[in-house]
Amino acid sequence: MKKGLHLGRISWRLAICGLLLFWIFNLIFVNEGRSAWQRQGLNWEQLSRAQQWHIAWTEGPRELWNTVRLVEPIALAISLVFMGLTLILGVFRWQMVLRVQGLALPLGRAMEISFVAHFFNSFLLGSTGGDLIRAYYAARETHHKKTEAVVAVLVDRLLGLFVMLLFACGMMLPNLSLLLAHRRLAALSWLIVAMMFGCGLVVILSFWGGLSRTWPEARSWLRRLPKGDLLERCLGACRQFGRERVFLIKALGLSMALNVICVLQILSLAWGLHLKIAPLALFVIVPMIICISALPITPSGLGVRENLYVLMLAAPEINVAATQALSLSLLAYAGSLIWSLIGGLVYLSLKESHHLAEVTKADRTAD
């Protein structure tokens, strides 16, 4: 009986993984098939959906392989290492956030959850959709601080996004002449600045408040909302971060290091593709693209990210051809996809005993 249940759990997880991987590769192959079709001067939009999929799965794998072959193997390997480092640093930052709430998640378990979240992030909307999965597993790790565990995931992402926006705005200064010389780049820059101020306002109100001082009835109004008690508990958990100055400094430093590594990943691929792009320009372009791709528009930001690379790298001062910019973006995504496949394997091997052991241990402590 137990063996049958175990096989059943493995089967439906394999089915989910298969469907998700099909969805991911279909998105990539459709993009590659469209590019190959349009290079022949043919109209992609005149094709039926069935014809598009046929071309995608016929031409897509070949086109993707041709793209991958353009890059120097050592550069691709270095970019994969940098991608892995971003995931590991992200785990360390998440652990720091959890400790503020009095939650001690073992490094191995935090790694498992983060890799699984990265796998799901490959097909959910935006580039932060995997946080829903991370929040789900984090809540299951404790029976008495579920709210705080979920808040920790949200705060981790909020801090990461805010520091990335801050980093992008800081790197705009040495690239100001480039960004202001082109209307589209200037518009994207203003979007990033607006996102930074909006995100910064959310951070300030969440960590330090101030709304109730100007609007005394705010707290009582909050309590009257559906799930008002839960919302107030979330707010209280957020206030704890504002009181931890040492944590904020450490989180800022770690996030800045993570941002630099994100740029180095793209820089290594650009070197591998023999693209002559000034590193200083990439230090503003990459974080801008990451921040905009985080908006929940398409699965994993696919399509949004590629168009942004083509648009921004087409500036005359950089002068990268559209096909080369697309290759750079797809190779970066391929590196992320490789690590997400590892997350898929971790997802298949996750055991329910992790959660059951936590509950059993807590029950024994209570007794």
Q: How far apart are CA 2 and CA 364, in angstroms?
A: 25
DSSP output for 218-276: HHHHHHHSTTHHHHHHHHHHHHHHHT-HHHHHHHHHHHHHHHHHHHHHHHHHHHHTT--
* Tens of pLDDT, residues 266-320: 999 999 999 989 999 999 999 999 999 888 766 666 677 878 888 899 889 998 8
Are the beta carbons of 349 and 111 closer than 8 angstroms?
A: no
Residue 261: is it exposed, middle or buried by C-beta count within 10 angstroms (0-12/13-18/19+)?
middle
How far apart (Å, rounded) are the C-alpha atoms in residues 298 and 113? 23
Report the alpha-carbon distance of residue 12 to residue 77 in Å, rounded: 33
In the prediction, which pLDDT does 29 show?
Answer: 79
- In the predicted model, what is the mean pLDDT of the chain? 81
The SS3 of residue 170 is helix
**Contacts of 48 by beta carbon, 8 Å cutoff, 6+ apart:** none
Task: Please tell me the distance from the alpha carbon of residue 218 to that of residue 289, in angstroms, as a whole number.
Answer: 36
Predicted pLDDT at 360 = 38
In tens, the pLDDT along 117-141 reads 888 777 665 455 577 778 877 777 7
Of 80-84, 190-194, 285-289, 341-345, the one with minimum mean pLDDT is 341-345
Helix (H) or strand (E) holding 181: none
360 or 3: which leads in pLDDT? 3
Helix (H) or strand (E) holding 21: helix 2-39
Find the angle CA(205)-CA(207)-CA(210) to the nearest 5 degrees: 40
Q: Which amino acid is at 291?
A: C
The predicted model scores a pTM of 0.78
* Angle subtended by helix axes 322-349 and 304-313, to nearest 10: 150
